[in-house]
Amino acid sequence: MADDLGYKDVGFNGSIDIPTPNIDRIANEGVKFRNAYVSYAVCGPSRAGLITGRYQDRFGFSRNPLFAPNDVKMGLPLSELTLADALSPAGYKSIALGKWHLGAHPDLHPLKRGFDDFYGFLSGGHDYFPELYTLNGVYDAKKQYDGYKTKLLRNYERVEEKEYLTDALSREAVNYIEKYKDQPFFMYLAYNAPHTPLQATEKYLERFENIKNEKRKIYGAMVSAMDDGVGRVLNKLEELKISENTMVFFLSDNGGPERVNASDNGLLRGGKGDLFEGGVHVPFALRWPDKIDPMVYDSPVSALDIFATAINPVKNEITLKNPLDGVDLLPFLQGTNNGMPHSFLFWRKYDQKWSSVRKSDGEKLLKNPKDTLLFNLKKDISETNEMKDEDLMHNLLDQYQLWENNLRDPVFLGLLQNDLYNRKHPDRFTKPD
């Protein structure tokens, strides 16, 4: 999983100035999804949806969580089963690497959420250069973004990392593949690249002397570092002769924030934080050579589908706690089901009072306090020409309302309420006795 990657910033979606040959291998040797979505337009809720296979609004994860190590409610509710939880009874070992962002409280730690191994950080972002890791632990933090400066965790222990963060995560991924090569494993490799801060080493910067925009140059270097890591992972799978029967997904957690990190969403309108296509329509590919032939797939799919697809080989060996919103994509990709995986996809931004629904045939509605907008994405992927169709608008609003009736209000204050949270929790970073 990439973090804040622009839709057009991979070769298989038309990138020209940032080569991504290794990421492209996943798409070219597997499935290129042309209409793939995440369930939210920023990282925390999007990741909560992916790791549970459920719309995160069903369990109140409707905001980007704060870095709050004393708050067990600030993150993925304990009522929810993660993909790692689900796979464990079938004998899988699970590894979480990189960005967690599903809670910093000890009870929300990856090792308490089904994972056997963890190497990374608990906050929503992090610096990339290890000399900046000046805090020994969460209780050395004094404010929200101090989480970026914590030393990395291996399971529960702080470590002295020496490598550029993206390279370190790739190293750990390869090592864990080697460790678990003889048994089923699930690896959640959550790069924080190319999320800010924009930081890259000379090794990667020198590849982009042709890019004159300094911000875009650093961004390209960060994407290139991640692409190198993807290549290391794919090569290790092939070296160990387990590549053919390993399912590899690639996606971004949301659209690129173009003004912030110089990403490029191509023809898509808007970016991170928006319910326009630029915020939720992401690069997405799946490679599984033993089971799926290379193809381009145009029907709408969701990051929520990763859970249901990943458990396909062992679904008779596990018991799920809650109904999934995601769909097993294999019958659709293998040609045994010629229908659409989803009739509708939905989004809600609770605080901003924004909502959206997309029909499988491309008709999409967006509603905010001022406007209700209707587009046909098959004819107008850039969402520049509003449709006028009262009947369709009412139908989509009705579908959205049926979905919203089963949602919860947010169960925690989020990043937008940081100051309010501080007032309510003056002991936010005070270590418990």
Please list the alpha-helical segments (H only) found in 207-363.
Answer: 214-239, 258-261, 277-280, 305-310, 330-333
Judge whether residue 262 has pLDDT over 90. Answer: yes
| Residue range 405-414: mean pLDDT, rounded | 98
Amino acid found at 367: K
Judge whether residue 358 has pLDDT over 90. Answer: yes
Q: What is the pTM of this model?
A: 0.97
| Residue range 407-433: mean pLDDT, rounded | 96
The per-residue pLDDT for range 130-146, each reduced to its tens digit, is 999 999 999 999 999 99
| Token pair in block for residue 81 | 């089963």
Give catalytic status of residue 43 as yes or no: yes
Judge whether residue 196 has pLDDT over 90. Answer: yes
The residues pairing with 187 across neighbouring beta strands, listed in sequence order, are 95
Q: Which residues are CB-neighbours of 63 under 8 A, at least 6 positions away?
A: 44, 45, 350, 351, 410, 412, 413, 414, 415, 416, 417
Instruction: Output the average pLDDT for the chain.
Output: 97
**pLDDT at position 296:** 98
> Could you tell me the end-to-end alpha-carbon distance of the chain, in angstroms, rounded to an integer?
37
DSSP H or E run through 399: helix 390-404
The per-residue pLDDT for range 11-46, each reduced to its tens digit, is 999 999 999 999 999 999 999 999 999 999 999 999
**pLDDT at position 392:** 96
Domains defined along the chain, listed by start: 11-343 (3.40.720.10)
The per-residue pLDDT for range 141-166, each reduced to its tens digit, is 999 999 999 999 999 999 999 999 99
| Residue range 232-255: mean pLDDT, rounded | 98
- Helices H, strands E: what count in the chain? 12, 15
| Residue range 321-337: mean pLDDT, rounded | 97
**pLDDT at position 11:** 98
Residue 179 CA to residue 185 CA, distance in Å, equals 10
What one-character-per-residue DSSP string does 69-111 give?
TT-TTSBS-TTSPPHHHHHGGGT-EEEEEEE--SB-SGGGSGG
Give catalytic status of residue 109 as yes or no: no
Judge whether residue 433 has pLDDT over 90. Answer: no
| Token pair in block for residue 286 | 């799946």
The per-residue pLDDT for range 48-101, each reduced to its tens digit, is 999 999 999 999 999 999 999 999 999 999 999 999 999 999 999 999 999 999
